[in-house]
Amino acid sequence: MTSGKNVYSLSQLNRSIELHLSKVNSSFWIKAEVAQLQFNAGYAFLELIEKKDGHIIAKNKATIWGAELQVFKHRLKSVFNEVLKEGVNILVEVSINYHAVYGLSLQVQDLDESFSIGELERIRKESIAKLEKLGAFQWQQKNKLPLVPQRIAVISSRKAAGFEDFKEHLLANSSKYAFKLQLFSSSVQGQHAGEELIAALHKIDPNDFDVIALIRGGGAKTDLAVFDDYHLSFAIAQCKLPVLTGIGHERDLSIADMVSLKNFKTPTAVAHFLLDTTTNFENKIEDKLDSIIRNISDEIHLRKSVLKYHITKTLPSFQKKIEKQHFMVEKQLLQIQNMTSGKVDMERFKLRQKEVQFSKMSIKRGEDRLSHLWEGIKYTLKNRMKDEQYQLSLKEVGIRSKDPMEILARGYSMTLKEGKLINPEEIKKGDKIHTHTQGKIIESIVDKIDEKL
């Protein structure tokens, strides 16, 4: 005693507490949140808390010993890491343990998996609600899938059978389409699967790929719990590249499926979709080519008909002009002949009058003069006819030289744009032009225009 007070040592107090608590032989079912979780040497060490209005109102350490831990893993199988992780509420049966040095702790003896799975469903619904509020289910729909997605970033476990099926169907396709695959390896279940999957998404450079394929093999619904993770689903929704999921469950959609651009039941179905997309594009290209060929053929036929029409219409006009020129020349020749014949007759009449008045010598001179005059007239007439004939030939040559068929026959060509002769000032790069030779029509696209020096 000190000054009338009962004084105990700390160890005495702790042993007293330990003695009293050891008398509590029963266990208790409690609900708490896992604030911290560590695995060490086959045991699990937890810090359990209770919150109210965002504040911690209770806290205790808890331990799961090796035997119980193995039982829980066997019972929960692949969902174990989703049930027992930080931030999750659990319903556990505990006994109270007090140690004079280590203080109060709880020993976990049993775990209610029904409550835990229900808790997972509650968390899933909360995650869906949060993502809907953000509008995250529409983010991926804004990403456009390329017409031919060939550069594919694959997120999967390297050992997963689903990855091997995906790779075989895509790379060994019968159409010989070329695809570039790069694996970003990640576990797809287990305690750290969510973190690894998010890290894999962040490693992918959007400039190097066309699409992301997130795939895994099949399994029980509980095996897919990581794909209901809020943070993973948020990361998928935020991706700048289209994300295709093939998680491998026939009946249930994970949240990751829901936020992706497209979801498929199996990795093989994702591969088929990529092959079908490429095939559809090839078919569209072939249809376009067939359409272009038909249009070109129709255009050539039309142009041939137009050219034939113009030739048929123009040639008779040229022939009429030639006939008209012939007629004009013959008319002029007849006029010349009439004029010269009249002059000769007049001179002869004058000569006969002079025969009476002049002597034979005068008559002889007159005849000589008349003969000389006639020779001169014949010479002039002959030269005039030759000149007129030459001019007529030139006109005929000129007219024939304008005949399109004659021009084409001499090795020249005629270039049209939209059915009209081209104007060099109006022609521009990219124009479609047609060049007509004697036996062919050549279609060209103007690629380059140089000014002539």
Please tell me the predicted confidence (pLDDT) of residue 357.
65
Q: Are residues 404 and 417 in the same domain?
A: no
Q: Label residue 234 by pLDDT band (50, 70, 90).
A: very high
Q: Are residues 255 and 300 in the same domain?
A: no
Based on the fold, state whether residues 304 and 189 are members of the same structural domain.
no
Tell me, yes or no, whether 400 and 429 share the same domain. Answer: no
Domain-terminating residue out of 111, 136, 156: 111
Q: Strand, coil or helix: what is 85?
A: coil
φ, ψ for residue 275, nearest 5 deg = -65, -40
User: Do 86 and 130 belong to one domain?
Assistant: no
In this prediction, residue 201 has a pLDDT band, given cuts at 50, 70 and 90, of very high
Same domain? For 158 and 256 the reply is: yes
Rounded distance between C-alpha atoms, residue 72 and residue 67, angstroms: 9
Question: Between residues 131 and 346, which one has the greater pLDDT?
Answer: 131
**Could you tell me if residue 239 is inside a domain?**
yes
The domain total for the chain is: 4
- The pLDDT tens digits for 153-193 are 999 988 888 888 999 999 999 989 999 999 999 988 777 88
Does 121 map to a domain?
Answer: no
Residue 338 and residue 433 share a domain: no
Point out the domain boundary residue: 205, 239, 265: 265
Return d(Cα 386, Cα 392) in angstroms, integer.
Answer: 10
Domain match, 337 and 242 both: no
CATH label of the domain that carries residue 63: 2.40.50.140
Sheet of 151-156, strands arranged across = 180-185, 151-156, 211-215, 243-246, 262-264
Q: Same domain for 381 and 418?
A: no
Tell whether 145 and 249 lie within a shared domain: yes
136 and 240 together in one domain: yes
Q: Which domain holds residue 73?
A: 10-111
- Is there a domain that residue 275 lies in? no
261 and 133 within one domain: yes
Please report whether residue 318 resides in a domain: yes
Domain endpoint, select from 83, 111, 139: 111
Residue 1, pLDDT above cutoff 60: no
Q: With respect to residue 116, please indicate whether it lies within any of the assigned structural domains.
A: no
Residue 343 confidence class, pLDDT cut points 50, 70, 90: confident
Question: Is 65 a domain residue?
Answer: yes
Residue 1 lies in a domain: no
